[in-house]
Structure 1
Amino acid sequence: MSVSIDISGLRQERVAFVPSPLAELGMALHALSEPGHHPGLQGWATGVTARLGTGLAGRMCEADFLWRTTFSDLFLPYAGVAGGGVLPGATLAEELDLVDKLSDEQFVDAALEFTCALTYDSQGAEVLAHPETRQRAVELAASRGPQQLRFTKRLLEDPPGVRAWFRQFLRDCDEAFFAETWSRLRPQLTADARHKTDLLRHKGLAEALAAASPMVTLDESAGRIVVDKLATGRTVTADGGLLLVPTSLGWPHLMVLHRFQWQPVLHYPVTSPDLTTPPPVEQLTLRMTALSHPMRIQLCRHLARSAFTTGELAKMHGMTAPEISRHLSVLKKAGLITTRRRGRYVLHQLDVTLVARLGSDFLEGILR
């Protein structure tokens, strides 16, 4: 499985390696919300959390699904600005201005990505204009919980109000902790982008992509870039070109923005902190056996990012609910997933911290 980017006719000068403060702030929020995804950042996360005021900490939970269960494209707004070819801003303020240039439909569509309700790499019904699509988004948000439901209703009813909330929240995060973090990380990311740009100019796109990540390859004969992920998707560079954005806080996540009619973006990690010690041998057999089936690996990919009901997983994979239940039962018996009830919904989620102890190769694969 992979995500492919059609680069037919792409000129080298339309490929850019550029750091993005807003994208790194998104990864900072993700690392604070999901420390199990980032064992090497636990010291940083603990220090930041200890300094947060109760007000900002509470607001951080208000819409954490924008950065906790997925990587909202709202943190890469330059990819969606009309006309294409827009680069990340040099400052967070400049990139927040780019968020304001997204249409209401683009803003809402990107914010609702956490519901898994809408098409991503193909043309779909506009959520603000189609009552059936709006209702589907509300229903899926309800399955996530009251917090997600409140946010979704508010977003659908008042996109400008949510924009203002989002912008002010990110400004407050910058003042509270991110400005200091970015001042430390920016030189490293700038140097990495400069190095990759030099490789691009002197050795070509294939060398530059390989340096960004060994999971990104150039298929010159087919005119496409292939990103090795436990996901399937496709997009084209069209007139906007190709952006590659380095992240220091994002390891092990290798993200590919391939949203329909947005400029493709590769968000790649530049550091690789060590993971924790593997579990005892007596636990390995049961867990590795549970993970030996390709369908259960696919389920782990989804459950690492968010909690899902059996019915949702069945629909995603084109299987029956009983078939999915049998796979979930094996994973649960091995202690790899947790289950909780929210009203009439039963939600399943991967224990990412436990999987991190099980092995870095598997963790990197499902989080890539």
Structure 2
Amino acid sequence: MSVTIDIAGLPRERIVFEISPLAELGVALHALATPGHHPGLHGWATATAAGLKPHLADRLHEADFLWTTTFSDVFMPYTGIRGGDGRSGATLAEELDMLDCLDDERFVAATLEFTCSRTYASGGAIDRDRALELAATRGPKQLDFARRILDDPAAVRAWLRRLFEDCDHAFFADTWQRVSQRLAADARHKTELLRRKSLADALHAVSPALTLDEENGRIAADKLAEGHTTAVDPAVGAGLSFIPSHFGWPHLMVLHAPGWRPVVHYPVDAPDLPGAASVQLLKLRMDALAHPMRMRLCRNLARAPYSTGELADAHGITAPEVSRHLAVLKKAGLITTRRRGRYVLHQLDVASVARLGSDFLETVLR
């Protein structure tokens, strides 16, 4: 499973690494609302939440569906402005002006796309009745907001802009001043990699989950989601943006809405881990451990090295049966083998198994 971006024929100069204060505000709000996704930010989230005035906290709660369950494209409006160049703004105020320039159709679609409207990547007009029906399943707060957006998008635009401006005054201006230099330095570094080396090198530096298929002119983001977009749509304008985020880990987000320029929003302050597991490897490992007999074998293998014959005797099954189970575990990279005389001993790779919990969480949040 992956989200792919067609880049065949895309001029190198149309691939940009740049920072975005509005996008970072969106991820900061997400981290504030879902601290469980961001264990490294607990201190910041606790202190920031404690400092919010009750009225602002209530308004954030009212609109939190824009950043809690997922990440609304309203935080990157510059990629959806018809006739625009797709570039981010220098300041939050400039990007809020860009949000004002997003036409009503796209604004409404961006605010409702995930939670109470059509499938994200399908495009097309919003079905009002269906949007309200889906909003109702999420409770009265969501339903009320959906009605407001559909009935009076101009009023919601103004309300949302004031909310973001108040967040800026309350905490984000100081936060942005602290993190923006680090993000700008990362964007410059990736730009130099792209210019002096290759796109493949730049992508690898962004995330191991990104791969380049040079033959077919396509970038793939390894995610538990499927989607497709193009960076060379003549109706939109050629361009692909990469935006670094201090608050993003473990999320790697790809804006791939129809009619918008694609964006890869990536974390720069990820913890030092052995390497992110691919979706396919995670699935392989979880399938391998789902079998009750293989789980019982792992109980032995976690304690000491065992030969095939010893495992067969211990569990009352034949040696060929044990071998088949061991082959599955070995293919998933969960056991190691070594020879001792004429015996081959198998042992559980405890480090790989220990990583499964964090690998699973990183993958589903990616």
Q: Structure 1 length as normaliser, TM-score?
A: 0.75
Asked whether the equivalents of residues 84 and 240 of structure 1 are also in contact (C-alpha less than 8 Å), the reply is no
Once residues 269 and 34 of structure 1 are traced to their aligned partners in structure 2, the CA distance between those partners, rounded to angstroms, is 16
Partner of 1:21: 21
Question: 1:6–1:236: 8 Å Cα contact kept in structure 2?
Answer: yes
Partner deviation per Cα, 1:46-99 (whole Å, 9 max, x = no partner): 110111000001001001000001100000111101124321111000000110
Q: 1:111 to 1:291 in 2, by over 3 A?
A: farther
Structure with max Cα Rg? 2
Mapped partners of 1:211, 1:358: distance in 2: 23
Aligned-residue sequence identity (percent) comes to: 63
| d(CA) in 2 for partners of 1:254, 1:226 | 12
Task: State the Cα RMSD in Å.
Answer: 1.9
Mapping of 1:86-125 within 5 angstroms? 86-115=86-115, 117-124=117-124
Q: Distance in 1 between matches of 2:220 and 2:162?
A: 37
**Aligned mates of 1:191, 1:57 — CA distance in 2:** 32
- CA–CA distance in structure 1, aligned partners of residues 355 and 51 of structure 2: 28
1:147 pairs, out of 141, 146, 149, with 141
Counterpart AA for 1:221: E
* Unpaired stretches in structure 2, ≥5 consecutive residues: 274-285, 292-353
**Is the Cα–Cα contact under 8 Å of residues 251 and 272 in structure 1 kept in the other structure?**
yes
**Correspondence 1:1-368 to 2 at 5 A:** 1-115=1-115, 117-124=117-124, 126-127=125-126, 133-238=127-232, 239-273=237-271, 292=290, 359-368=357-366
Query: CA 1:274/1:116 → structure 2, altered by over 3 Å: closer, same or farther?
Result: farther
Distance in 2 (alpha carbons) for counterparts of 1:74 and 1:290: 41
> Secondary structure at 2:120's aligned position in 1?
coil
Following superposition, which runs of at least 4 residues in structure 1 exceed 6 angstroms of deviation?
288-291
The amino acid across from 2:205 in the alignment is A
The letter for the 2-side match of 1:359 is G
CA separation of 1:2 and 1:209: change in aligned 2, threshold 3 A: same
Distance (whole Å) between structure 1 residues aligned to residue 243 and residue 360 of structure 2: 24
Cα distance in 2 for residues equivalent to 1:53 and 1:358:
40
Q: Determine the C-alpha separation between the residues in 2 that align with 1:263 and 1:291.
A: 41
Q: How far, CA to CA, are the matches of 1:251 and 1:39 in structure 2?
A: 10
Residues 181, 169 of structure 1: alpha-carbon distance in 2 compared, 3 angstrom cutoff: same
SS in 1 for 2:220: strand
Q: Distance in 2 between matches of 1:114 and 1:11?
A: 32
Q: Structure 1's 289 and 211: CA in aligned 2 closer, same or farther, altered over 3 A? A: closer
Residue of structure 1 in register with 2:308 after alignment: none
> What residue identity is the alignment partner of 1:112?
L
How far the C-alpha of 1:221 sits from its partner, in A, is 0.5
* Contact 1:80-1:263 within 8 A present in 2 as well: yes
- For residues 169-227 of structure 1, give each alpha carbon's deviation from its aligned partner in whole angstroms, at most 9, with x where no partner exists: 00000000000000000010000000000000000111111101110111000110011
Structure 1 contact 65–114 (Cα < 8 Å) conserved: no
Q: What is the aligned residue count? A: 288
Offset at 1:291? 8.8
Q: Which has the higher contact order (CA 8 A, sep 6+)?
A: 1
Give the counterpart letter for 2:258 in structure 1.
F
Q: Which amino acid aligns with 1:86?
A: G
8 Å contact kept, 2:116–2:132: no
1:70 aligned partner, one-letter code: T
Alpha-carbon distance, 1:117 to partner = 2.6
CA contact (8 A) 1:40 1:274 kept: no
CA distance in 2, matches of 1:291, 1:90: 49
**Distance change (3 Å), C-alpha of 1:99 and 1:362:** same
Counterpart AA for 1:54: P
SS in 2 for 1:144: coil
- Give the AA of the match of 1:242: L
Cα distance, 1:178–1:290 mapped onto 2, change above 3 Å: farther
